Structure 1
Amino acid sequence: MADYARLLDEEIHAFIARTNASYPEDAAGLDIAGQRRVYDAMCADFHAGRPDGVAVEDRSVSKVPLRIYTAGEPSCTVLYLHGGGFLVGGLDSHDDVCAEICAGTGYRVVAVAYRLSPEHKHPAAFEDARTALEWVIESFEGPVVLAGDSAGGNLAAALAHSSRGKTRRIAGQVLIYPGLGGDSNATSYHDHAEAPMLSRSDLEFYDGIRADGAPPRTDPTYAPLGDRDFRKLPRTVIFTAECDPLQSDGPAYADRLRQAEVPVHLVDEPGLVHGYLRARHMSNRARESFERIILAIEALGQGLWPYD
């Protein structure tokens, strides 16, 4: 088992403690509505506000709720898919993250509140993400960068795979501690099975409620690593957290992209845990990673590849 007392610094331990403080002792026994209520309250506790100069508009496109962030005259649009295990999260859970990406890049950011499991089984979340992407391409000029964390990273990659040959507008994808349907026998799934913030049993629970019947692991709209063809995917930057059972998915996906001669850059962030975006205002490590994430999004939107 990993020694988290050694691997994690005081700031990340404080972040974990603050997160846990939002959850009651009986959280494991809460129903779905209760889990969402507690998660929303935790996200509200961490909400850092929106930077000055960021304008926000809420709208619905084909019944998919969107939140659009702008600052000035954007030259690029970022489609952002939130994390939450396909079970929790929405427009408010990642509101400040999206606003800060907008302020940091100058790009338009479109956040998507896709339908959640278990009420809405796969491919409902993917279909909503695809609806949002199609609307962005129809509504705005310029390049599009796909971005998302955790489950949202899965959806961003799924969109990249499904969009090949249909549009040239996707300039790249930025995947933040994504779950890509990797091998559950991979190293991180064992070494960090009991990691703080996300455990292997959590992953099994989320996976168990996402699909009707057996998970379709060869369907790239469900598990991008299940695709057989990785050619002609957009430039990709992947951020993984060292102390995360999903960490192995990032290198596995990067390897498949390299084999297909797709430009890819992998950043494994030492001493960080799943969900560290919320720690960016209380942890130097998380803040520096978030700065790298913003720079990656900005570079892709400008057609730059600073990683060679």
Structure 2
Amino acid sequence: MADYAKLINAETWAFIDRTNSFYPPDAVDHSVEEQRRTYDRMCREFHAGYPEGVSAETTAIETPTHAIPIRIYRNARPDDAALVLYFHGGGFILGGLDSHDDVCAEICQRTGYKVVSVDYRLVPEHTHPAAYEDSRAAFEWAARTYARPILLSGDSAGGNLAAAVAHTTRGHERAAIGQVLVYPGLGGKLGQGSYLTHADAPLLSVRDMDYYRDMRAGGRDISGDVTFAPFNDTDYSGLPPTVVITAECDPLSDDGRDYRDRIVAAGGKARWIDEPGLVHGYLRARHTVARARDSFSRIVEAIRSLGKGEWHHQS
């Protein structure tokens, strides 16, 4: 097991302690309503506001059965090289337009790109494949609505959804030009590697992951479903240039390495960055923890460069 007293520095421990003061480690034992109230309160407290020059409009994508809320971020000095489609984290149970509001605003400000945040349906009210279907519908809407190239991004559960959309739309005439995934859960094999070493990591444990996975599956057999877990796919060819950023102290760390390896083996471009001493959810620490601040700069630069069709990364 990992020695977190050595791996995690004081700044990051302060972030962990602050997070746990809102969102206790046993939160998966609470009702979904209680978890959402706690998570939403925490996100409000961490919200860093909008940087200068960024505005946002909340609207919706209309589908035949329901509306998908979205928030569109615009920069006063726009760069129209790409549109970023962003999917938030939260274990498919938590989060929405407000939980990652400032993150999307900062991506918009630092890249100049228009960013569209997608409020996909959550479990348990809507089990799989509802979240994927909303994410795919958002991609189709973006392809119809904007002429500029589309770049997919998301963190945690949202990274899973971004990758699932990349896999299922790679033959689309408007297929994504890149994807930037932040500590995504891609369906790695439990009981080995980082799933074993970091089974009890701060802020995300394997027990938490089991809960989220089972809730999302809703009793279905999802063993071969790429829209549930991209690692269920057997073909990694034709995927867009990919940058995966993970946290060292996170059960999901090896998912980034393995995803990179599969894409590169299939002849694609992919880079994996494993951030030393960081934990799952560190995007919220980007203003208080130097390691998280530096990582967020790498995330933004990956989005900026892939949006311009540039590849500066070694696999």
**Shift of residue 121, structure 1, vs aligned partner:** 0.7
Q: Any idea what SS the aligned residue of 1:265 has?
A: strand
- Give the drift of 1:169: 4.4
- Residue 36 of structure 1 corresponds to 36
Which blocks of at least 5 consecutive residues in structure 2 are unaligned?
none
Partner residue of 1:255? Answer: 261
1:125-144 correspondence to structure 2 within 5 Å: 125-144=131-150
Partner of residue 207, structure 2: 201
Query: Is 1:274 aligned to 2:280, yes or no?
Result: yes
**Secondary structure of the structure 1 residue equivalent to 2:177:** strand
C-alpha contact 1:181 1:217 (8 A) present in aligned 2: no
Whether 2:299 is the aligned partner of 1:293: answer: yes
Indicate the SS of the match to 1:250: helix
- CA drift at 1:165: 1.0
Q: Displacement, 1:212?
A: 2.8
Q: Does 1:69 align with 2:73?
A: yes
* Identity in percent: 56
Question: 1:215 Cα shift?
Answer: 4.2
Structure 2 SS opposite 1:170: coil
2:226 aligned to 220, 224, 227, which one?
220
Q: TM-score, normalised by structure 2?
A: 0.95
1:30, CA displacement in angstroms?
2.1
Aligned to 2:17: 17
Equivalent in the alignment of 1:110: 116
Measured against aligned partners, the alpha-carbon deviations of 1:169-188 in whole angstroms (never above 9, x if no partner) come to 41100010000011112311
Q: Following the alignment from structure 2 to structure 1, what is the Cα–Cα distance between the partners of residues 290 and 120?
A: 31
Alignment of 1:117-196 (within 5 A): 117-196=123-202
Matches within 5 A, 1:73-92: 73-75=78-80, 76-92=82-98
Is the aligned partner of 1:47 residue 2:50?
no
Structure 2: how far apart are the matches of 1:4 and 1:13?
A: 9
Which moved further from structure 2: 169-178 or 193-202?
Answer: 169-178
Instruction: Give TM-score scaled by structure 1 length.
Output: 0.97
CA distance in 1, matches of 2:247, 2:21: 22
Aligned to 1:5: 5
CA distance in structure 1 between the partners assigned to 2:31 and 2:95 by the alignment = 15
State the Cα distance separating 1:73 from its structure 2 match. Answer: 3.1
Give, in angstroms, the shift of residue 143 of structure 1.
1.1
Root-mean-square deviation over aligned CA pairs = 1.2
Moved over 6 A (4+): none
Any conservation in 1 of the 2:166–2:175 contact (CA below 8 Å)?
no
Residue 74 of structure 1 aligns to a residue whose secondary structure is: coil
Give the aligned partner of residue 229 of structure 1.
235
Q: 2-side partners of 1:24 and 1:219: how far apart?
A: 32
Q: Which runs of 5+ in 1 are unaligned?
A: none
Aligned-residue offset at 1:140 = 1.1
Q: Is the 8 A contact 1:142 1:169 kept in 2?
A: no
1:248 aligned counterpart, secondary structure: helix
